[in-house]
């Protein structure tokens, strides 16, 4: 792991306009102000401003401002229309983004003399394309995963219906597509949609590799989160939303032989339902709902756990799974997306058939009942982490290299 240091300042500092659909540097939707994980956006801002880039963000109007960057606003139609049913919001939000945000981005890019217009998520592709077409500036879009585009096994009609907004967004050409490797096969998906391979930049997620050297006392960690000092603990660290399937974990507990304690770290729209199902199943005394946990507390949370579980519908090799492997916690996951490129069954973890709650329960039982297997898989996971994962410093430097190529002299 390389040492953390400021990257060298650029003699020709590029001016970057970032067009974002999020109010703050980390937005989970609803009214959450504290992230349950680290923000790529925050690391981007910190690294690029320290290196001397001029950053301007165009965001939905809110009371929050980041002192590190210049923030510009557009009407917050997301907040105003949040009450609408999802079938209405799906077409409405991209349309409003095109109508309200794209002209604002065009005017800003021109007045700022932007060298690069960088869009966040599929919402931004028309705005960035428009700026490039009208002003001759370079454009790029950053995708933080590709969501349901990963489900290429779906029938064509279902695939189109579930992904129509993203599929249409990919029709606007960009100078570069920066795709984060969260296990949803983003590079292959974009190539499959006809985007030239030389315009796709597939970047790994940054990780806190220094956590490998963290020495957190187990008893202290359990006391911190008010967990029983003895007995097995299973950890679920994710938003409590449909795509993460926390209810599968609760139902798996009813089929297990080992009476473990379950910790749910995260918040979301399913929290009340999860708590109610736990009560209905007579498991309330074994289910601990912590709500949002600060990212700096994750090593302590991992130290308190014997097994980490992930059950997402999209991929189960996202940041929390990788963080568990870094911290030496054996993992049990559903086989979705590119999960098995990191979590290999009986090698670096246990993999259950996607959606098979019985198999999930059996896998957790196997680990909890076999300390030697837990130790072996945890050590293999740490070795994988050392070989495959990259630090945040390296990750941001790689992104700077892409930006320099696009927006630097001769870009």
**CA-based nearest residue to 9, from 44, 48, 37:** 48
**CA-based nearest residue to 247, from 311, 165, 291:** 311
Q: How many CB atoms neighbour CB 62 within 10 A? A: 14
Q: Are residues 370 and 307 in the same domain?
A: yes
- Six-digit token pair at 325? 């492997």
Q: Are residues 100 and 63 in the same domain?
A: yes
- Which range marks the domain in which residue 99 is found? 15-204
Angle in degrees, 0-180, between the axes of helices 86-96 and 156-169, rounded to the nearest 10: 30
Query: 215 — phi, psi (to 5°)?
Result: -120, 85
| Secondary structure, 3-state, 336-379 | CCCHHHCCCECCCEEEECCCCHHHHHHHHHHHHCCHHHHHHHHH
Predicted confidence at residue 12, as pLDDT, reads 57
Spatial separation of the C-alpha atoms in residues 250 and 282, rounded to whole Å? 11
Reply yes or no on whether the pLDDT at 130 is more than 90.
yes
Q: Are residues 186 and 286 in the same domain?
A: no
For all residues of the chain together, what is the average pLDDT?
Answer: 91
Q: Are residues 163 and 271 in the same domain?
A: no
Q: What is the pLDDT of residues 235-258, one digit of tens each?
A: 999 999 999 999 999 999 999 999
Q: How many CB atoms neighbour CB 353 within 10 A? A: 12
Please report which confidence band the pLDDT of residue 4 belongs to, taking 50, 70 and 90 as the band edges: very low
H or E element, residue 332: strand 331-334
Q: Are residues 88 and 140 in the same domain?
A: yes
Q: Please say whether the beta carbons of 105 and 137 come within 8 A.
A: no
Predicted confidence at residue 409, as pLDDT, reads 56
Predicted confidence at residue 38, as pLDDT, reads 53
Measured CA angle at 90 (ends 88, 92), to 5 deg: 65
Q: What is the CATH number of the domain that holds 364?
A: 3.40.50.2000
Predicted confidence at residue 8, as pLDDT, reads 46
Reported as half-sphere exposure (CB side, CA atoms, 13 A), residue 130 has a value of: 22
The tally of domains found in the chain comes to 2
Q: What is the pLDDT of residues 288-321, one digit of tens each?
A: 999 988 888 999 999 999 999 999 998 998 899 9
């Amino acid at each position: 792991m390389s040492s953390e240091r400021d990257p060298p300042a650029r003699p020709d500092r590029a001016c970057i306009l970032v067009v974002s659909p999020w109010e703050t540097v980390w937005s989970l939707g609803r009214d959450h102000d504290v992230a349950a994980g680290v923000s790529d956006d925050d690391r981007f801002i910190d690294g690029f401003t320290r290196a001397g880039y001029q950053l301007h963000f165009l965001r939905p109007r809110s009371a929050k401002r980041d002192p590190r960057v210049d923030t510009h606003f557009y009407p917050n139609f997301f907040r105003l229309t949040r009450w609408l049913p999802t079938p209405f919001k799906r077409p409405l939000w991209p349309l409003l983004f095109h109508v309200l945000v794209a002209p604002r981005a065009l005017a800003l890019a021109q007045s700022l003399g932007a060298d690069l217009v960088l869009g966040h998520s599929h919402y931004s592709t028309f705005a960035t394309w428009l700026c490039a077409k009208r002003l001759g500036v370079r454009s790029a879009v950053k995708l933080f995963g590709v969501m349901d585009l990963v489900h290429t096994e779906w029938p064509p009609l279902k695939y189109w219906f579930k992904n129509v907004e993203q599929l249409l967004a990919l029709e606007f050409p960009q100078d570069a597509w920066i795709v984060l490797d969260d296990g949803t096969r983003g590079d292959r998906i974009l190539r499959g949609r006809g985007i030239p391979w030389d315009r796709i930049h597939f970047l790994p997620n940054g990780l806190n590799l220094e956590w490998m050297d963290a020495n957190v006392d187990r008893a202290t960690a359990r006391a911190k989160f008010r967990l029983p000092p003895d007995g097995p603990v299973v950890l679920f660290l994710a938003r409590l939303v449909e795509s993460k399937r926390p209810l599968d974990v609760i139902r798996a507990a009813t089929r297990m032989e080992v009476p473990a304690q379950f910790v749910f770290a995260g918040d979301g729209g399913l929290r009340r339902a999860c708590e109610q199902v736990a009560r209905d199943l007579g498991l309330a005394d074994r289910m601990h709902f912590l709500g949002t946990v600060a990212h700096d507390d994750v090593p302590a949370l991992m130290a308190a756990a014997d097994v980490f579980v992930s059950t997402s519908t999209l991929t189960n090799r996202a940041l929390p799974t990788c963080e568990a492997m870094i911290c030496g916690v054996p993992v049990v996951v559903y086989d979705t997306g590119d999960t098995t490129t990191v979590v290999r069954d009986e090698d670096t973890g246990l993999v259950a058939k996607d959606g098979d709650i019985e198999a999930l329960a059996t896998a957790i039982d196997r680990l909890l009942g076999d300390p030697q297997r837990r130790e072996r898989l945890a050590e293999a996971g740490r070795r994988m982490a050392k070989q495959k994962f990259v630090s945040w410093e390296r990750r941001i430097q790689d992104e700077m290299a892409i930006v320099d190529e696009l927006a630097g002299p001769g870009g």
